[in-house]
Structure 1
Amino acid sequence: MRLNGLDMSRPVGTMGHAPVDDVHARGVMKKASILAIAAVSVIMAVFTVEDATREVFAQGASVKGTGGESFTGCRQCHEPFYTEWSMSPHGTSMTPYTDEFAARALVPPTGEITMGGHAYRLETGTGQGFMLEKGSWAWPAKQYRITHVLGGRDVYYFFTTAEKGRLTALPLAYDIRRKSWIERAAGGISHAEREVRGGETALVFSTACYGCHRDPTSTNYDLKTDSYHTGQPEPGIRCEACHGPTAEHAGIMRAATGGSAPKDLGIIRTGGFTPVRLNEVCAPCHASMSPVTASYVPSEPFFDHFDLVTLEDEGFFPDGRDHGANHTYTSWLMSPCARSGRLDCLHCHTLGGGYRFKERAKANDACLPCHEKTVRAVASHSHHGSLSSGSLCVSCHMPTTSSGTMRRTDHSMLPPTPASSAIYTSPNACITCHGDRGNDWADAWVRTRYRPDYQDPYLRRAELLARARRKDWSRLEETLAYLRFPDRDEVFSASLVRLLGECADASKVKVLLTALHDGSPLVRSSAATSLGAVVTPEVTGELVKAAADPVRIVRIRAASALLHHPRGELPGEKARIVDRATGEYLGSLMVQQDNWVSHVGMGSYFLDQGDARNALMAFETASRLNPGAAVPHVQASIAHARLGDLNKAEAELNAALQIDFEDAPALLTMGLLKNRQGNQREAVAYLKRATKSDPTMAAAAYNLAVITAADRLNEAIAWARKAYELQPDASYGYTLAQLLKQDGQWDESIEVLGRLIGAHPLHADAYLLMGELLEKKGRTADAQAAYRQGLSVKGMPEPDRDRIEKRLKRIR
């Protein structure tokens, strides 16, 4: 036995299920073709270098503006539309702060607002526009000039130009509906990235907001100096967000003669888009997503440029309802109306972001013509009076919920499921209106009036998802059956497929391989990610095929998964396919160079490739960008250990634990380091703290079993049994069987080996140990049967076949 799991030779996965950021536990170091990958990276204009300042950076990967015609340039020919657009929610999503804005939109504050030991006061009079910050000290207050305003429906956020060119959100925000000043954190903005600098959390426009609230904007980020030279050519979202680069179009139209427009206008025209493609134009700004390219052209597929957060994320309740973040596109993909392929965003919304059906008399026209029969008899369908709010389609199918002061409309359009709300505390439309009643009342009301009860299918899939989040695989067969069901939901399927990456049961593999050929790129890419830890020739071959998928996100996830697999001698064309996909993967890591998670991902890649020095520099960059994150320190400790410097490894882990005293990966890695240093007492203490911090951490339990086996066999068996129950990994099961053998519990050892063989039929040592125990029990015929079973397994490596064959010949 040896220390295994997440040991000091392997990067530690600390980000949970994160295919959007691709930071996850890596397998044993892979020997991919570095030269070929580097060549592809140059072609992709993304390559990693080590410079004299010890920085790891990607050249050409920063997000750039499109360099098109200005918004006001479009006004020359499109004055009426420009006027309408400039005052729309989209046109005013980010605007400069002016005296005129303050007089029109803000009620001046009446006094100071205190938070965090500081007092804040707004000065919004003519020629002012600044925020004062005053602490408990006697000297003068700090003064921050308000330069920009973000928002406009529920909340205004205020920004100032801070150090190194950052546009940073000020601590106070304005509640538009209540006309009151509030703490920024109470505004409910939960979908944006935060930076942690100097121990304080800051919302930085250049990192978090520029892609949606001002388009296009060049961040002009310089990684070496960690600074921005942010270009801000126009207020709000401009024409190029939907029409792509406009400079060519402007040139064509200026050169046009004869009073007629040329056939080719040199611009993207959305009039011929399908509903699906129109929805994808809106999706980047209305989704919790992660970009995988440096630019997006509206005519191109969403999943060629972005990955999407799904229900594995805690921002959702297990039944798919939203906690309040910007998850509109994820919810939208669950909508039966969206799945029909007939409904697009512009059916209900104007180009400027307004709602078309505000008038009460026309509210249900939003559901025409598809649901005309239901709309005409809405009272009998809703069981509410025809003139009541309960007979508005959106009241039940698109209820509005709030996170702080921010309101969200549920775009899944699913019916209310109060039974699910009773279990998961998720919102439902019934209680939104009937706040004086409870979920039990609403559940009984629904079950009485709607027969058969439509809630049951939603409850079943929510329970499967909730169990998968907890790594409870007792209903695994039902989960796999759901994924085999032809009409299963795309988002729930992708979510379950992603969560199955944490399941060690081999019965999942066939279903995941099928999902790798699903019609949905979201499902295919999720399957590729979850197959990364399944290292078999069949899976490797299928992932190589996926590296040539027509959709970029699938290729990227396949390339990432293949880092876990031995490349071997791939034929020329297959090697080129994998190298191209790997180049796209590396490029995706450096799209957001100002995002610390990108550098953690790049460092993990270097660790996989055996390049601990470049990995260490990437982790150091991540720590510099976010000093409040423990993850880079944990990963850096592994890089130092690979380089043989255990003292620096320990220092990094101490730094991680100073940030988060109970960080389970840091505690696990420290335990392994202490054991490597020969201090088993401290190793056991740290590993036990890891299991307390994260009771589902099988690796900590397993390593406790290995360490305690020398002198505390009963305790070791208990830890090994816990590890195998948490994660039926082959090494965990085999170690449990060995310990049971040592303790004389041969029958249970044989039983564990039987389960192990069923899940991992290529585990030769399991057949050998089972045969040995059966021989000792005098069951020679059964031992021979076990050896023959091992020899009959297709794909058993020749060296293992030889070992089993020798054992069989010996007892003959």
Structure 2
Amino acid sequence: MMICRMLLLAIPLALGLGSCGRKTGHAGPEAAALPQLAKSTECSACHQAADQVWRGSMHALAHRKVGSLEDAWAFRAKPLDLGNIHWKFTGGESAPRIQWHDDNSKVPPIALAPPMAIGYRPLIQYVLDFGNGRYQVPDAAWDPTKQEWFSMFGSDQRKPQEWGHWTQRGMNWNSQCAACHFTQYRKNYLPETDGYATRWLEQGVGCTQCHGPSQDSRRPNECIVDFKKKYTPQQWMHACATCHSRREELDEKFLIGDNFFDHYSLALPSQPGLYHPDGQQIDEDYNFTSLLLSRMGHKGISCIDCHAPHAATPKGGKPAVETNTLCMQCHASGLRGAIVIDPLAHSFHKPGSAGSRCVDCHMPKSIYMGRDARSDHRFPSPDPVLTKELGTPNACNTCHADKGLDWQIEWTNKWYGPTKKPLARERTRAVAAAYADKPEAMDKLLAAFDLEDNTAWQATLLRLMEPWAEDPRVTQRAEKAAASPDPLARGAAAFLLARVPASGTQWARLSKDPVRSVRLDAGWGALDRLPKDDALLLDLEKVAQHQGDQPAGQMRLARLARHRGEGAAAEAHLHKAADWDQGSAVARQELAVYLAGAGRTREAIPVLAEAAKIAPKDPEIPYLRALALAELGDEAGSEAQLREAIRLNPRFARAYYNLGLLLSSQGHEAAAIISLRNASTLGPADPEPPYALATIYQRLGQSNAAAAAARDALQRNPAHQQAAALLRSIGQ
């Protein structure tokens, strides 16, 4: 079961029903292109054994119409009161009704009948019809084991104007939830009405969602799908990953046998808050990335090696997990390169006790959606040393927190040695340094990359090098990754090389890569290099339109409109993004940048003030305010905002640089030199701070210092003509 997932701006990184079956009426733009899939009922006669197992699975029960016995208990239960927020559930299974009211909100009370339900165990979510084809998922969910309602948000009770509130786009069923709970689901967003004409074949994840389209023609008694097509373990894994991953959806066209990366962009631990620095899960990350980051995934272990696909459970069920039998299918003999392990000797725990099972230590669980315990598929080894250094979790601490970390370190050193996994530790320290923006981060990332053989980690380390993209050492490693067989690594290379103007040849090759997500990374990173009729630009437009029902999609549409020179359209998209996400400072920053670029700097100031209220600790906002105020001639205001940006981020190189320029323009040369030196140290690849220092030293008559600073600028960028001219002017 899955909570509604947000589109990744990571870019960081992207999105009436009521009866089972194919909808009629407005078909949407892609309806004619839908491949022919069969309903699961057409498969059951010949595949009775598989059908019997599947019918009780979480896949089959992923989505359904309301009206079961389970609903009878849910809609006769006690109300749910969460301070100022009140929920009531009435009507039993025949006439269920959900009522919501927030005492502190001006939003009128909502009372609607849920036509559909998501999931079965460990919780059930109900779907409400908001009209215009739009469905929303309340955060109030039913726990069928405890027979009680609860909020999936826990104490994080969101306000009605926030993107993540259950009435807003963060909990929109059409774009955030439904695709992974249906067979042949098509969202069909209608931008002209901001509504949906959503279609599907059947509720639940049915046979053909995984087994593929019907044969064009078949003989009597021949299977509906073509079983002569044989899929590799990786292709099966890519089919699983379409839902069991934290990803950005590029389109809805994936079919079994396709490359996952032609239809999705995968989230990596390159954004703080998604994963711990060692790759353990924090946010709702699902499993695919974790598996790819693991040693098992690196050796080619895939989903179907451990999971029975029809049952959607571990092979052998719970007993195989409890007795370690599932893990020992490889680790008893060293099959497929597995480390040979004697569970008793390896675990140092008595058989049957907590800690004696492989999953206790190597698949720690985290709770999501308030009640859903999910195992970490990175298979981490407990490392209390990193817990003490960086705060990363370790399974020993789950049971032995009372003994303290030093006790845990002592015993793990006795059992496994003090130098366990030194490369993994150094990689974790590098990622943590990048998350914390520490001065040693780039050197640590470079060293970790050079020793890393897992391409998912290589891609992660490269993406974390973005602040130093123009450093030749970073460019060299990106060019190496550009030849990787893994699209994750090539995508990271495209992401970096797009930011380096001198990398045109490599970037051009990646912009025509055979894998779509790599091409898109190249395109989004260097939009200005693309001619207006370029095929890649047209593909970027398709992706942005598909994501256009979410703020991130509107921001992408704005970028594309600006590239086409359509200023009014760009501004409309940015206003829409900001309006759709009242809690987003990023949308307001982008809008302010657009307004300033359009010569409307005074209009940008209040937009940035609004952004600052939303994200008062974001140093980028006072930095942008400083630039805007400087353009308007308010030097005092600009200086105050630059100093605020530096207070919020003492390592903000560009803020130091602009402060140095401002101070120099006011005649405060000594203070300007200090600020520019800081900028030069913090931005070791940027030639502008040392060049600015050179100009100040020249004005002060300090020729040797001016020459040294100019040489520094030229070392950083040998093509820096102004620095070369300055050197010539002082005879050096």
Question: Aligned equivalents of 1:63 and 1:211: distance in 2?
Answer: 19
State the partner residue of 1:735: 692
Which of 494, 498, 523 pairs up with 1:559? 523
* Equivalent residue number for residue 25 of structure 2: none
Letter of the 2:395 partner, please give it. A
Distance (Å, rounded) in 1 between the aligned partners of 2:329 and 2:42: 39
Q: Any gaps of 5 or more consecutive residues in structure 2?
A: 1-7, 16-27, 334-338
Q: Secondary structure at the match of 2:483?
A: coil
The residue aligned with 2:637 is: 682
Q: Aligned partners of 1:189, 1:434: CA distance in 2, in Å?
A: 32
**Which of 89, 96, 105 is the matching residue for 1:122?**
89
Q: Which amino acid aligns with 1:18?
A: I
Distance across 1 between alignment mates of 2:443 and 2:31: 44
Deviation of 1:324 (Å): 4.0
User: Which AA in structure 2 matches 1:518?
Assistant: S
Alignment match, 1:789 = none
Say whether residues 1:461 and 2:427 are aligned partners.
yes
Moved more, 725-734 or 274-283: 725-734
Of 763, 780, 784, 2:720 maps to 763
Moved more, 460-469 or 629-638: 629-638
Whether the 8 Å contact between 2:365 and 2:374 is mirrored in structure 1 is yes
Worse-superposed segment, 148-157 or 202-211: 148-157
1:307 aligns with one of 258, 262, 265: 265
The equivalent of 1:143 in structure 2 is 111
Alpha-carbon distance, 1:308 to partner: 0.8
- Could you list the per-position Cα deviations for residues 617-652 of structure 1 after superposition, in whole angstroms to 9, with x for gaps in the alignment? 332332343344333333233333343334444454
1:367 corresponds to: 327
Pair 723,352 (structure 1): closer, same or farther in 2 beyond 3 Å: farther
For 2:313, the equivalent position in structure 1 comes to 354
Whole-angstrom CA distance in 2 between matches of 1:751 and 1:73: 78
- Partner deviation per Cα, 1:333-386 (whole Å, 9 max, x = no partner): 022222222544353333231222344467322124432147773212222234
Distance 1:526 1:661 in 2: 31
Secondary structure in 2 matching 1:160: strand
Taking structure 1 as reference, are residues 662 and 188 closer, same or farther at Cα in structure 2, changes over 3 Å only? closer
- Match among 6, 11, 18 for residue 18 of structure 1: 11
User: Residues 64 and 285 from structure 1, CA distance in 2 versus in 1: closer, same or farther, beyond 3 angstroms?
Assistant: farther
Which among 670, 676, 700 is matched to residue 720 of structure 1?
676
1:307-456 superposed matches below 5 A = 307-313=265-271, 314-360=273-319, 363-373=323-333, 377-403=342-368, 404-451=370-417, 453-456=419-422
Give the drift of 1:161.
1.1
Aligned mates of 2:348, 2:320 — CA distance in 1: 19
Aligned to 2:336: none
Candidates 57, 62, 66, aligned match of 1:93: 62
SS in 2 for 1:92: coil
Contact 1:198 1:627 survives alignment (8 Å): no
Root-mean-square deviation (Å): 3.5
**What is the identity, as a one-letter code, of the residue corresponding to 2:128?**
T
Compare CA radii of gyration and give the structure with the larger one.
Answer: 1
Deviations 1:488-528 (Å, cap 9, x if unpaired)? 22222111101111115332211111111122210111111
| Correspondent of 1:102 among 56, 59, 71 | 71
The Cα of 1:287 is off from its aligned counterpart by 0.7
- Structure 1 residues 438, 715: closer, same or farther in 2, change over 3 A? same
How far apart, in 2, do the equivalents of 1:113 and 1:637 lie?
A: 40
Give the letter for the 2:690 counterpart. G
AA aligned to 2:695 is Q
Paired residue type of 1:556? L
Secondary structure, counterpart of 2:420 in structure 1: coil
The 3 A distance-change label for structure 1 pair 281 and 634 is same
Distance 2:9 2:690 in 1: 24
Preserved contact between residue 107 and residue 180 of structure 1 (Cα < 8 Å):
no
Residues 376 and 645 of structure 1, relative CA distance in 2, 3 Å threshold: closer
- Counterpart of 1:521 in structure 2 is 487
Aligned to 1:796: none
Distance 1:750 1:350, change over 3 A: same
Conservation of the 8 A alpha-carbon contact between 1:173 and 1:187: no
Distance change in 2, residues 1:123/1:376 (3 Å) = same
Distance 1:710 1:755 in 2: 22
Name the SS of the counterpart of 1:402 in structure 2. strand
| Structure 1 counterpart of 2:623, one-letter code | L
User: Aligned pair 1:540/2:504, yes or no?
Assistant: yes
Partner of 1:499: 464
Q: How far off is 1:557 after superposition?
A: 1.7
3-state DSSP of counterpart to 2:413: helix
Question: Which residue of structure 2 lines up, in the alignment, with residue 230 of structure 1?
Answer: 198
Amino acid at match of 1:441: W
Of 212, 237, 247, 1:279 maps to 237
| Contact 2:137–2:167, Cα closer than 8 Å, also in 1 | no
TM-score normalized by the length of structure 1: 0.78
- SS of the equivalent of 2:137 reads strand
268-277 or 144-153, larger mean C-alpha shift: 268-277
| Separation in structure 2 between the aligned mates of residue 770 and residue 475 of structure 1, nearest angstrom | 33
The answer on whether the counterparts of 2:133 and 2:195 sit within 8 Å (CA) in structure 1 is yes
Deviations 1:688-743 (A, max 9, x none): 33333444443333222222222222332333233333323122332233234445
Shift in Å, 1:285: 0.6
Aligned-partner Cα distance in 2 for 1:124–1:426: 47
> Secondary structure of the equivalent of 1:95?
strand
Alpha-carbon shift at residue 300 of structure 1 (Å): 0.9
Q: Identity rate of aligned residues, in percent?
A: 23
Shift of 1:272: 2.5
SS at match of 1:471: coil
The structural deviation recorded for 1:66 is 5.1
- 1:211-290 → structure 2 map (5 Å cutoff): 211-231=179-199, 233-246=201-214, 249=215, 252-253=217-218, 256-257=219-220, 259=221, 261=222, 267=225, 269=227, 272-290=230-248
Instruction: Name the aligned partner's letter for residue 515 of structure 1.
Output: A
- In structure 1, give the amino acid aligned to 2:331: H
Residues 400-432 of structure 1 show CA distances to partners (whole Å, capped at 9, x for unaligned) of: 232442212111123222211222322222222
CA deviations 1:123-168 (Å, max 9, x no partner) are 2535342222345599996423223222333332222112433221
2:569 to 610, 614, 635: 614
TM-score by length of structure 2 reads 0.86
> What is aligned with 1:292?
250
Q: How does 1:174-185 map to 2 (within 5 A)?
A: 174-185=142-153
Distance 2:32 2:528 in 1: 29
Paired position in structure 2 for 1:779: none
Q: 2:21 corresponds to which residue? A: none
Report if aligned partners of 2:182, 2:201 keep a CA contact under 8 Å in 1.
no
Shift of 1:664: 3.9
Aligned length: 698
State the 1:435 CA deviation: 4.3
CA contact 2:324–2:358 (8 Å) conserved in 1: yes
Contact 2:293 2:378 in 1 (8 A): yes
Cα distance, 1:294 vs structure 2? 3.7
Aligned equivalents of 1:343 and 1:368: distance in 2? 16
C-alpha displacement of 1:602 = 2.6
The answer as to 2:514 corresponding to 1:550 is: yes
